[in-house]
Amino acid sequence: YLQFDGFELETHMAIRGKDLREEKRRALDNCAEAGVGVTLVAAIEKGVNEHEVGDIVRFGVSHPAVSSVAFQPVTHSGCHTVFDPLERLTNADVIKLCAAQLPDWFAVSDFVPVPCCFPTCRSMSYSLVDGDGLIPFTRLLDVEDYLDYVSNRVTPDPELQHALERMFSSSATPGAERALLACESCGIDLSAALEDLRSKVFMIVVQDFQDPYTLNVRQLMKCCVEEITPDGRLIPFCAYNSVGYREQVREQMSGVGVAPVVPNSEPLQPLLEPTRYGSKTAESAGIPLPMAAAARDVRNVGRKLGS
């Protein structure tokens, strides 16, 4: 994974606080030379870089080291820019941006929710790429029949390749010829592409992580991305990063007090101060907030290794 939020200086300064564009390009070129595959991970923040979604995909498709792009609408947890909790991007917004900025390649219907988690958490689109030609798998086969084969994968299960190959066989189902014509119109030789499917597949993932403003217990109950605490518990990723587990475990492991993190939102600005890690917390003096006065609950945390 390589963090890759866009191409403009303003984007990097707003999200990362430093211009690392040239370093990232050199890293990608070095990966290509070494034969290392890369997923570009782009944090998309409303009003900052949503206009760069299409350019990021085009760059990924054209770069020999890149096999996929993961878009993450910014999760307002930890260290991040000031935000309005009522003005934010969702997975659906990012999918619409892909379709609007890449109309020759994608439609909204080319993105499918992944079955292992809550439907609004993650969607993805697989495409066949050959030179300048690109066609989503949704134009070639009924993707819903193969969702189990694409869960949590950067490249599809071999069964997907078999499904594509069957379109050339005498047992091909009616309608397969439309998929073959679609490939031809996009400049893709499907039979040749299938000979080296791994190098011809490009994936886009849109992954939304919850923060304190969007936390949904039903989504947490179906979570398939988890953090392991020192005492062996599995904590849903979004809960771990949004409701205090991370700070509690860090404090237990390090023996150093860690301030509880508070969302860096516009309505809370008069009440916040920075922590040593760059995130924000409630001021500890002169604020009648329950979080500032309440005793820390340390019952449900891990223990330091070796204790």
Average pLDDT over residues 99-125: 90
pLDDT at 208 over 70: yes
Identify the pLDDT of residue 84. Answer: 87
Residue in this structure with the two tokens 């991305």, named with its chain if needed = 225
Beta-bridged to residue 125, according to DSSP, are 204
Residue 141 φ/ψ, nearest 5 degrees: -155, 170
Other Cβ atoms within 10 Å of 153 Cβ, number = 14
Q: Which of 184, 207, 230 is the last residue of a domain?
A: 207
Q: Where are the alpha helices (DSSP H) in 63-105?
A: 91-101
Identify the pLDDT of residue 81. Answer: 80
Average pLDDT over residues 170-187: 44
pLDDT at 94 over 90: yes
Residue 196 CA from chain centroid, whole number: 26
CA atoms within 13 A on the CB side of 186: 26
Q: Which of 148-157, 185-194, 198-207 has the highest mean pLDDT?
A: 198-207
Tally the domains of the chain.
Answer: 2
pLDDT at 303 over 70: no
Are both 186 and 253 inside the same structural domain? no
Identify the pLDDT of residue 151. Answer: 52
Domain limits for position 40: 2-207
Structure tokens at 295: 């005793």
Average pLDDT over residues 156-160: 56
Q: Which of 145, 180, 207 is the last residue of a domain?
A: 207
143/79: higher pLDDT: 79
DSSP label at 64? T
Are both 97 and 172 inside the same structural domain? yes
Q: What angle do CA 25, 67, 162 make, to 5 degrees?
A: 170
pLDDT digits (tens, 9 = 90+) for 253-264: 888 888 888 888
- CATH number, domain of 179, equals 3.20.20
Question: Is residue 299 in some structural domain?
Answer: no
Average pLDDT over residues 285-296: 42
Angular region, 228: left φ>0, alpha ψ -120 to 50, beta rest: beta
Q: Which of 151, 178, 207 is the last residue of a domain?
A: 207
Q: Are 42 and 51 in contact (CB under 8 A)?
A: no
Average pLDDT over residues 298-304: 41
Identify the pLDDT of residue 198. Answer: 64
Structure tokens at 107: 């439609």
Q: Binning pLDDT at 50, 70 and 90, where does residue 108 land?
A: very high
Are both 98 and 136 inside the same structural domain? yes
Other Cβ atoms within 10 Å of 127 Cβ, number = 24
Average pLDDT over residues 78-97: 88
Identify the pLDDT of residue 265. Answer: 85
Q: Are 265 and 83 in contact (CB under 8 A)?
A: yes
Those residues with Cβ within 8 angstroms of residue 16's Cβ, 6 or more apart along the chain or in another chain:
3, 5
pTM of the model: 0.76
7/265: higher pLDDT: 7
Q: Are 264 and 274 in contact (CB under 8 A)?
A: no
What is residue 77's three-state secondary structure? coil
Q: Binning pLDDT at 50, 70 and 90, where does residue 158 land?
A: low
